[in-house]
Copies of this chain bind each other. A is one copy, B any other.
Amino acid sequence: MLDETRGARCQRCKPYMEQENLDAVVAISPENVLYFAETYIQTQTSIRDRLAIAVMPLASDPAMIACKIEEPTVEAETWIKDRRYYVEAQRSPIALLAEVLQEKHLEGKRIGMELNYLTADYYCELNRLLPQIELVPCSRIFDQVRAVKEMREIKILSRAGLRTVRAIEAAVSMTSVGDSENDLAVRMIKNMFDGGAQSLEFMCLGSGLRSEMAHCSPDPSVALEDGSVIHLDFGGKFDHYTSDISRGILIGRRNPKHEDIYKRLTDCYVNGIEQLKPGVRACDIYHFTKAQFEKAGIPFTMSLVGHGLGIGVHELPMLIPSEPKALETDMMLCYEIRTIVDGHRYHIEDLIHITEQGCEVLSQPELDTSMLWIQPDLL
């Protein structure tokens, strides 16, 4: 189990920084500011130019930069002692960052930045203010540090996954043929908040031929049709960590065609889950899964068959053909597979904990591979 002392996460970056010859790494995305500075700034996502920044030098103390309006939150939450604030629309956060880097004698050094989050205008501004600086990508370092979870994170994610499954199942059990897609979605969402979610991450729900859309929004004017099927991919945030669950749902009278495809899909799923253990390479899981689909005779069109889950929705390990890294104990991931047959999408996804011995399906301890079922009303 990883050390959970405040600041320990920052320390865990240092071997990577030495390896890549970096004098500092700078966290700037909402996920990494939350993870490393341990402060949650709600508006980082909705008001993107309101930057929050954690500067973590190799050889000196870290510093935190945030918008003045967030001062009471940051003061109450972060463990970082050096905290600076800029007044929005009056001073650029990048000007303040340049000042901090200069104070720490980092203005001509090699600095790891989240270049897949920092926007081009801020990037150009920083290069203009500190022309000697060398900015290199460092997201992969943060991704690697975050990939193996602490016990506290495993508990939160586990609870989030289970409660999401329960929110889904309870909503399905309260729904009738003929209700709208939106009726079902709203029931799930309300259950999520009753179950302790702080926000919704995504709600993708489409019935019938609308299921072909991977990220379909539920429609209040579309009724759930007898004999058809629903594609669902649903997640929320619990204590800042994400849940992400998919299920196939049958509507009304059972339809052997849908059930046959779902059965083939979930057979692949069960076989795939058996492969998940420390030491197995992410790319090999992808190729194994692809081969299973061929055996099962269902179309395979996925560019990924799973992804790590944590504060973010897609974390390491990414189960993609180009990822040679192996799974490790205490990684948390979603294994997810789906197929499209005759315009209908079938999809299953659960939360999985990689253990020393293999893995545990946390969101479904007793693996049930039958579709959820909106039962026909009794007459």
A residues engaging B (CB < 8 A)? 40-43, 45-49, 68-70, 72-73, 76, 87-90, 113, 115-124, 135, 137, 186, 189-190, 193-194, 196, 198-204, 212-218, 220, 303-304, 312-314, 318, 320-322
Evaluate contact between B48 and A116: CB separation under 8 angstroms: yes
Using A49-B116, A72-B213, A119-B115 as known contacts, say yes or no to A88 and B193 having CB atoms under 8 A apart: no
- 13 A-B Cβ contacts within 8 A? A42-B202, A43-B202, A45-B45, A48-B117, A73-B213, A73-B215, A73-B216, A90-B321, A115-B121, A117-B119, A120-B135, A123-B123, A199-B203
Evaluate contact between A41 and B215: CB separation under 8 angstroms: yes
Residues of B within 8 A of A117 (CB): 48, 119
Residues of B within 8 A of A194 (CB): 186, 190
Question: Could you tell me the distance in whole angstroms from the C-beta of A41 to the nearest C-beta in chain B?
Answer: 7
Question: Could you tell me the distance in whole angstroms from the C-beta of A145 to the nearest C-beta in chain B?
Answer: 19
Question: Could you tell me the distance in whole angstroms from the C-beta of A333 to the nearest C-beta in chain B?
Answer: 15
Please list the 9 inter-chain residue pairs (A to B) with the smallest Cβ-Cβ separation, ordered nearest first. A120-B123, A42-B215, A115-B120, A115-B121, A88-B303, A89-B320, A72-B212, A72-B213, A73-B213
Evaluate contact between A137 and B116: CB separation under 8 angstroms: no
In the complex, A46→B135 CA distance in Å?
A: 25
Question: Could you tell me the distance in whole angstroms from the C-beta of A260 to the nearest C-beta in chain B?
Answer: 23
